[in-house]
């Protein structure tokens, strides 16, 4: 790795620059690969030994993943909260956290159902329309 220097912005102020001696540069091909490996490990460890998910064509699916787009599936609120809690705990153990401003919930099924799913005490926004991989998934259609 060539010499790289970093600074941290905290409260609007920039710290002194310091040499970065470990890690990969943002935009480096290896950076994306390492992040995807991290996500794979986090999700797999989180849902591997719990009985959550949704039945699709006779198979239980716990989640759908493509790059960093992840949809966690559950047939009831309790199971969804358990899966989200486990993903949050696994992420925290690996030094990351769920961005609650970019994380939403959605009910798919007959009727309307409002529910609260929380991450670290913060309620996630429930939406009726969700963009996933360029397509719209709607609760109403």
pLDDT digits (tens, 9 = 90+) for 95-131: 889 999 999 998 887 766 889 999 999 999 998 888 8
Listed range (3-7, 82-86, 87-91) with the worst mean pLDDT: 3-7
Residue 87 pLDDT greater than 90, yes or no: yes
Q: How many Cβ atoms sit within 10 Å of the Cβ of residue 73? A: 19
Residue 1 clears pLDDT 60, i.e. is over it: no
Tokens at residue 49, please? 């030994």
Q: What is the pLDDT of residue 117?
A: 94
Q: How far apart are CA 123 and CA 81, in angstroms?
A: 11
Total-model pTM:
0.75
pLDDT band at 141 (very low <50, low <70, confident <90, very high): low
């Amino acid at each position: 790795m060539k010499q790289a220097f970093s600074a941290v912005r905290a409260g609007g102020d920039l710290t002194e620059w310091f040499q970065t001696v470990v890690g990969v540069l943002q935009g480096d091909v290896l950076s994306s690969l390492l992040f995807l490996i991290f996500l794979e490990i986090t999700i797999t460890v989180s849902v591997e030994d719990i009985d959550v998910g949704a039945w699709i064509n006779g198979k239980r699916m716990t989640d759908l993943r493509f790059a960093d787009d992840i949809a966690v599936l559950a047939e009831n609120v309790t199971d969804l909260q358990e899966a989200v809690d486990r993903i949050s705990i696994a992420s925290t153990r690996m030094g990351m956290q769920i961005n609650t401003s970019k994380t939403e919930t959605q009910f798919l099924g007959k009727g309307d159902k409002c529910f609260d799913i929380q991450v670290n005490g913060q309620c996630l926004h429930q939406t009726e329309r969700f963009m996933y991989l360029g397509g719209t998934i709607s609760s109403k259609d």
